Amino acid sequence: MAKTTGSFALRTVGAKEFVDITAQVQDAVTDSTISDGVCIIYNPHTTAGLTINEGADPAVCDDLLGVFGRLIPRDYPYRHQEGNSSSHMMATLTGSSVTVIIVAGRLQLGTWQRIFFCEYDGPRTRKVLWKVLPG
């Protein structure tokens, strides 16, 4: 029987970075043997997110992190005082899950699209959960 749910670990190296996880997600879809359906990718961490955006030009991710840093300052008078409050705010902007349609066993991403794990409180070892549903 094909595996339709699972997880994979990743190690982030920067305090704030976008990590392209498209290949790992496609591997999960391939291993599931489900030809048509959807893949749900979920991040169970409160200081990290997931997003789909351009992966051809790394400046896009750099710009996103730059804008997030200006929108969500570290020196705001946060009531949550663990030192990572801005990371929680950034995670809310990107969200904790993405869903991608699968056709003929392939993720249906646009030409320039990639799936990114968004680290806002690294470096850390993180886990990403996935589930493939037929349909």
pTM summary value: 0.96
Can you give the pLDDT at residue 2? 76
Alpha carbon distance 9, 128 (integer Å):
6
Residue 105, classified by CB atoms within 10 Å of its CB into exposed (0-12), middle (13-18) or buried (19+), is middle
Domain ranges of the chain: 5-134
Can you give the pLDDT at residue 81? 85
Any idea which architecture 5-134 has in CATH? Sandwich (2.60)
Give the pLDDT means over successive 10-residue stretches in the chain (135 positions).
91 98 98 96 98 97 97 94 95 98 98 98 98 96
**What do you get for the CA distance between the two ends of the chain, in Å?**
17
Query: No. of H helices and E strands in the chain?
Result: 3, 8
Of all residues in the chain, what percent carry a pLDDT higher than 70? Answer: 99
Q: Dihedral (C-alpha) 80, 82, 84, 89: value to the nearest 10 degrees?
A: -20
